[in-house]
Amino acid sequence: MTLGLSLENFTIVHVVLSLVGIASGFVVLFGLLADRRLDGWTALFLSSTVLTSVTGYGFPVDRVLPSHVVGTLSLLVLGVAILARYRFRMAGRWRRAYVICAAVALYFNVFVGVVQSFLRVPALKAMAPQQNEPPFLIAQGLVLVLFLGLGTLAAARYRGDRADVA
């Protein structure tokens, strides 16, 4: 189910979408920390991150993998973020729901990025070939702590009143 693309080209599309989602997600997260909506960046982040999760199901496999579970969780929080942002216009509790779900979706994308880095980068793979060794666990722990901190701070700071800055 690679949409008519070779597996290599499908992988490239998936990786590019993921990198766009991560980069735009950090712009959005730092916008939230600065109490800026960043509407265009938000649309790019949410759409590319949805597409990243959806294309993750297009790889040929014979069983459900942890990546499928993360993809499903990501799509669930993205669904809430999209509803909170666009349907409910971040009114009342939907503002905080949007911020938390956007941060969690970005975390899932970075989490998978760390996993893939330890699978694909030879130096990292040598340090943690089974992905249960201390370097991998420390890296994922640091990512989790970073996102818990940034997400909590963004939820506390973001009011959603200020539009994009030119």
Q: What tens digit of pLDDT does each residue of 79-107 get?
A: 999 999 999 999 999 999 999 999 999 99
Residues 24, 48 contacting (CB under 8 angstroms): yes
Write down the pLDDT at residue 164. 57
> Can you tell me the distance from the alpha carbon of 61 to that of 63, in angstroms, rounded to the nearest whole number?
6
Three-state secondary structure call for residue 130: coil
Residue 139: Cβ within 10 Å count: 18
Nearest-angstrom CA–CA distance, 5 and 84: 34
Confidence of residue 146 (pLDDT cuts 50, 70, 90): very high
Q: Give the position of tokens 């499928």.
A: 68
Place 166 in a pLDDT band, splitting at 50, 70 and 90: very low
Closest CA to 48 of 69, 26, 68: 26
Q: Is the pLDDT of residue 132 over 80?
A: yes
Can you tell me the distance from the alpha carbon of 93 to that of 85, in angstroms, rounded to the nearest whole number? 11
Question: pTM for the full model?
Answer: 0.93
- The 8-class DSSP code of residue 88 comes to S
Is residue 29 within 8 A of residue 150, CB to CB? The reply is yes
| Cβ contacts of 77 within 8 Å, gap of 6 or more | 101, 104, 105, 108
